[in-house]
Structure 1
């Protein structure tokens, strides 16, 4: 022991001697602490972050001298030399400008916003902490060029540069590199599987096409959210928000939102973290009683009281409608009159008009419970204590919300999960992940209303009773309006009323039945498998920065036939792509920067595409304070899962995707007993078989345009009928030109850009009508009278209407511009203003059957004013935005969205001794209710108080 002890002491002394501990603080140029600043030993991965008070302590296994660097988003980076052990260093970081912030998304490599080759927006820690919105995701709406379409309290859809509905398949959303779109829907459900506020490191947004680096889905914009790595951001942080939502229709309702983040760095090799959040509130009640006409347009003059064929925006059940002439010619109805001792000739008193069944208010069919539960966890391993890292990340999200597509849907206990394995360092990454969804207890509210009615009384019985009561009323001397009112009252006698056991029993039966003819339940268990990789050769090649990468994705659609044509089994298909990018700087001081990239993509369903992008940026001025840029890029969009394989009956129309094998997979059955065939008594039956089996192929090879069928209905002139026969869908392409300028003019920061997009094979839908018999060329005629069979089919309402996915050959272009100005006023007050202009160039009159769903105001103005340190530990922020009026065009309804303005505001107070920030805030402070899409509830006010602890 005496022999070994000196060696152990020597070893211990050696270890002690080789360790250097430094400590200190990080403050801004006003002396305020900067929590969460990164302090790192240059040339290594050894580092730490400052605590809530800006203090830090760091131990490094090396003798001085060495250099230590401190950095924080929004501040200039400072480097100090360590010359002795136990040295204290007080970093003073000067606040930089927004153009000095570093982004990764624009080129898949770190670079200043100032030199980004394309337009990019950033929402960093400072903006997240000081947002006046209820949460950071809502705060993105204050960025220039960004719209957030509010579907419900917990489901909001980001939109840039137009062409968006709530099913925004043109926009991609990535969380730590994972696409968090729901596999069944092919678009993200807002922040349902996103991030909790205390774990957000940064948010970046690229408006416009980004296909050259990110593939087919990055067509109209892409959102990047990055979380905090537990190696760099250990500790426990939490928040709690409590408040009320206030809406005229719903009243005042409690709202709460809380979350916790726990991260621990066990050593230099292993770290882990876990996050959890829970939100609950009451959704915005939708109670618009205006009608929707046969072409899907809002008709404010239509009400249940004055329109016998009323179909309300937020009342469901009225889409079941028929022409009373079908009732009066029904043998069953005529025989019923005869059996009752009534001369069947009185059936001629029934007018040739359309009548709809009585529906239920949306509030009768959902509880408006808004809920979001998110959890994620991660294990992080650095085997060599450097930048080489292995990650496993898991995420789950569940929630209840309202979703509006072709119908209105109550999303109940919808569940999403993701699991990712990634290996990376500063020069490469390889990752793979799987996303799975489960529709839970979700259901279609429109069909819930329809089938509750059918649970009580079959459609033919209801319409027969209506017709009989109308005859009785007419014979009793009532005028037309009075007779119709009496007929509805008689037919509705005994109807299931809300809040009764009979109604509740029928409701429960319907929402648990996935058959659209009798129920309304969604079923889905779809998956996406995705892998991608990237390598940056900049550490090996001096000539230029060169990157290569690629991705592979497989879809597994499994809705059990409730959404897609997968009744008899899953539908798999795949996509893959490869890309390369070169960046090179030229001239003195590297003033000229060239970025060129190209991507190859191939879907197993379509031909391959190449997507090139080239950009030039040039720095001007003595201090390189001005940058101009120009870019050209192409993008393409593979048809989404719905455009390919949907087969969804929404009542008066069937949504039908057009992958080559999909129309024939959409099997429907109609029996001859349901087909009116009065001419068969001549002995020449139109349909000879006992039943008629048909599929969706007729939508594409034997159909009329829906508008021409409406014209024919009014004129009865076959010459008005126009053949549709849309083409099967194929990828859409865009050519995008962009010019931009970023500049620093003393304290004023300017960022302006303009773009022009030209589309080819624009993806759209076309409403068509497929007759059950006869050809749309009108060559097949009925022998008895020479009438075209297809015309007879239309007259007898023997047809199926489809909304067919296809491409339009019409010219579709869009262009716009955005301008942002930020500065400091009155000392250190932050003032920002931005303006966005967006315009669609499309001849709607010449293409009445094509919906572009541009859905973007032509003009938007936004402004913010605040101070993070008005006086010691106290700050505030006020944000205002105004939107021009615009037309919302969607499959659910098309109508005007009036102009609106919104004010959000917050005040906050820091208590360093508690490592806490307290905030009082209001979204839509003035409670001036508005809406961003036809059919949704009016957006009221949201008032809240929050307490955030140790959010570094």
Structure 2
């Protein structure tokens, strides 16, 4: 036994000797300041073997490789250095030279190949780990708004949408957001989820943003811009990082409320072949209260309030949308013998609305987000020739979304799972997105149906008219009779805070039938596969890439959103593309990039998307770069554009996929007395086809000259984009200024739009008799159709950004953006362009990362002028505003910590991102980040 033990020990010692480790130690410093650099990456060239410097800038690298070999030392914002290792226990002292400007940073998104921003053929904006540390905004996602040409529309505290170059909505279906290559939008509700269920701030490596059309490489919906969020690889960034953030949100309507934001990231490299990471984030706070009670009519503000306008419809009041002409009610009561003969003549022909509930009585303003992500990374060869990645993300949260109505998103759940094979020249990945709307509900229908749960509309208006007639016969004036009538009809109404109201609220918000409830159901899935191969190791005279993608939607709302009454609706789309990049002239100063993509969706004809760009690098160091590009983009109609079938209260929404028109049927619609006589029935039902084939244009009816709408079925919209730009360095080393400027022009074709139409209950539009009688008798209903505008629409604009350093290292940045669009409303009166973008924006940044030892600060100021916001929810002018954000941070090397104190909108002047949302107040925060 002893001999066997000795033999085993000798064998183990021999094995250890055979894989004896080489140990390298060293220090990494800033070449200019001499300060040590924590977080620098050290890796063996061509392999996954590596480590990072600690908070003192020191590292120890152990490997089974035997010298000689080469290590690479790199860090964001610095030029990579290579060092030859010739012996064991070699000590390495390296000084990294900072990139001359941010334009020297490397981006991948512009051409799907690494290149300097300076040499990119199109406009690119970028944020990395250093920028996140220095942002004055409460989160890195908020900090994106400080980038040139970028707008962030704040729907609520936890739901924000990024937009570039106009035509913004909160859904923002013209802008794509990818997280580690996965589309981060809701496949059914059609809005990008922002960072509600996105990436942990601790796990963000880079954010790259391309304003403008990008369909040639990224397909449908990369129409007005695309954003790439890339996480940190566990092979390169290891350890445990923690972030604790707390503070206050302050708003006049909501008061001062605490918020908490906790993040943890854990990553470990088990060997040269296997690494893993996990992230967890939790945020809790209070949403911005929406308290705009101004009176509205047809999407516009009008004079009056509940006391002065008996047909009052407050913007953030729900339930008061239910309105009727009380003379018609009086006539019906008289015909039924429920009112004295001739009494209907006493009742004015006046619209009266039911009393609604304020949003704060219906909405849960508790903001919450919890998200978990994990990845398993495997490198079978021990280097970066091939990496297999399994990535899963889970998120659940509460937020507020504003579309046609205001939606309380409660316990919304989304998961994504991805399997990816990635190498130096290729990737193949497939992922699944699955969502569950949880306990989400429509606040407008909550208000409407809580009212109806207490007293149905016929009873309420009947009591109102009966009381009005009685009061008038009793000698009261019309105003007195109206006041008494509402008091009588409101008797016993469910009041917020009472058990009766809560019981009705619970019943309505758990009922998915919008006739009686307000809940929306959704278990839609999206399946996506895409691949790319670069032939750079096979073809040397130019760089060629090819790629393809396939996507399958499986819509599953149980008939509450889509017309999927009999089971899920499946439809798919695919695309293929190629790109060639060729460099010419001495030192490769001229670069030509040409791309072509073909996409085909199940319900539409195929689209070709070409892109051609030229970039020329002038100057001795290639630091004067000029570029010009031509490209096209397209956007497929969304899932809702094609398959929605929804009673939205104000109108019936019907998607225009060919197989959707006859599948949707309205509830029974009651005819007037005169209409019942003409049609020979008291009620009718309509199919979605009637909206497209037998309807009046809503605007023509308002103008008093009814004409047929003749709505065509929706098809993809297209854009042709032209852009020229310049990036360069002006001035000498002491007063060097980086300049990044561009000018663009976009021409749109078949712009997707909603067209409001009125469908008569009887008659054929154009017969000039029955259908016009239906309009006269009030026997019609509104539909919102999905189609394309025939109008000529174009947009144009430009931006310029200047950055420099003054007074020994203070960073100063200034940028200006101009955006404008042209549209002749007379060519399509029913079309709303919804450009929703300020014409002028100015942003200023001032700060220093090392004002003194371990202490830095940053200040951001943003100004924008007023602009018109158009949407299906409401139209209004958004006032101009100036926003001030600021932060100070202190690094504690001994604790591997950074403490940051800051705030956003420090002037306290509240502002609206769009009509109907909560006014945005101030936010103050204190954060502690460890080992990041």
| 1:45-68 deviations in Å (ceiling 9; x for gaps) | 322222233221112333333332
Other structure's SS at 1:478 match:
coil
Indicate yes or no: 2:773 matched with 1:769: no
Indicate yes or no: 2:232 matched with 1:217: no
Other structure's SS at 2:701 match:
helix
Indicate yes or no: 2:905 matched with 1:924: yes
Whole-angstrom distance in 2 between the partners of 1:261 and 1:526: 30
1:577-656 correspondence runs (5 A): 577-656=575-654
Q: Which residue of 2 aligns with 1:513?
A: 511
Shift of 1:803: 1.0
Match of 1:491 among 484, 489, 507: 489
Whole-angstrom distance in 2 between the partners of 1:477 and 1:489: 17
| 1:869-912 deviations in Å (ceiling 9; x for gaps) | 11000011111101110011000001110001111111110111
1:391-790 correspondence runs (5 A): 391-670=389-668, 674-678=670-674, 685-688=677-680, 692-712=684-704, 720-745=705-730, 746=732, 747-779=736-768, 788-790=769-771
Indicate yes or no: 2:918 matched with 1:937: yes
| 1:114-150 deviations in Å (ceiling 9; x for gaps) | 1111001000111111110000000000001110000
Matched-pair contact (CA < 8 Å) for 2:25–2:58 = no
Gaps of 5+ in 2: none
Shift of 1:623: 2.0
Whole-angstrom distance in 2 between the partners of 1:450 and 1:222: 38
- Closer, same or farther in 2 for the Cα pair 1:520/1:333, shift >3 Å? farther
Indicate yes or no: 2:375 matched with 1:378: yes
Shift of 1:162: 0.6
Q: Which residue of 1 aligns with 2:77?
A: 74
Q: Which residue of 1 aligns with 2:363?
A: 366
Number of equivalences? 922
Other structure's SS at 2:703 match:
helix
Matched-pair contact (CA < 8 Å) for 1:584–1:595 = yes
Whole-angstrom distance in 2 between the partners of 1:345 and 1:466: 17
Other structure's SS at 1:822 match:
strand
Q: Which residue of 2 aligns with 1:784?
A: none
Whole-angstrom distance in 2 between the partners of 1:400 and 1:871: 42
Other structure's SS at 1:336 match:
coil
Q: Which residue of 1 aligns with 2:869?
A: 888
Other structure's SS at 1:686 match:
helix
Whole-angstrom distance in 1 between the partners of 2:480 and 2:882: 44
Length-normalised TM-score, structure 2: 0.97
Whole-angstrom distance in 2 between the partners of 1:242 and 1:917: 14
Match of 1:93 among 96, 118, 127: 96
Length-normalised TM-score, structure 1: 0.95
- Closer, same or farther in 2 for the Cα pair 1:111/1:903, shift >3 Å? same
1:146-165 correspondence runs (5 A): 146-165=150-169
Q: Which residue of 2 aligns with 1:782?
A: none
Whole-angstrom distance in 2 between the partners of 1:851 and 1:457: 37
Q: Which residue of 2 aligns with 1:335?
A: 337
Moved more, 908-917 or 71-80: 71-80
Matched-pair contact (CA < 8 Å) for 1:642–1:657 = yes
Whole-angstrom distance in 2 between the partners of 1:89 and 1:893: 64
Gaps of 5+ in 1: 338-342, 713-719, 780-787
Other structure's SS at 2:642 match:
helix
Indicate yes or no: 2:267 matched with 1:263: yes
1:817-836 correspondence runs (5 A): 817-836=798-817
Matched-pair contact (CA < 8 Å) for 1:171–1:187 = no
- Closer, same or farther in 2 for the Cα pair 1:140/1:8, shift >3 Å? closer
Q: Which residue of 2 aligns with 1:783?
A: none
Indicate yes or no: 2:853 matched with 1:879: no
| 1:829-873 deviations in Å (ceiling 9; x for gaps) | 111111111001111244320012110000001111111111000
Moved more, 372-381 or 86-95: 86-95
1:295-310 correspondence runs (5 A): 295-299=298-302, 301-310=303-312
Whole-angstrom distance in 2 between the partners of 1:442 and 1:9: 63
Shift of 1:482: 3.0
Whole-angstrom distance in 1 between the partners of 2:451 and 2:702: 28
Shift of 1:6: 8.3
Shift of 1:625: 1.1
Whole-angstrom distance in 2 between the partners of 1:757 and 1:487: 56
Indicate yes or no: 2:119 matched with 1:115: yes
Q: Which residue of 2 aligns with 1:849?
A: 830
Q: Which residue of 2 aligns with 1:195?
A: 199
Whole-angstrom distance in 2 between the partners of 1:569 and 1:796: 39
Other structure's SS at 2:132 match:
helix
Other structure's SS at 1:665 match:
coil
Q: Which residue of 2 aligns with 1:290?
A: 294
Shift of 1:413: 0.4
- Closer, same or farther in 2 for the Cα pair 1:669/1:497, shift >3 Å? closer
Shift of 1:485: 2.2
Q: Which residue of 1 aligns with 2:350?
A: 353
Whole-angstrom distance in 2 between the partners of 1:28 and 1:706: 69
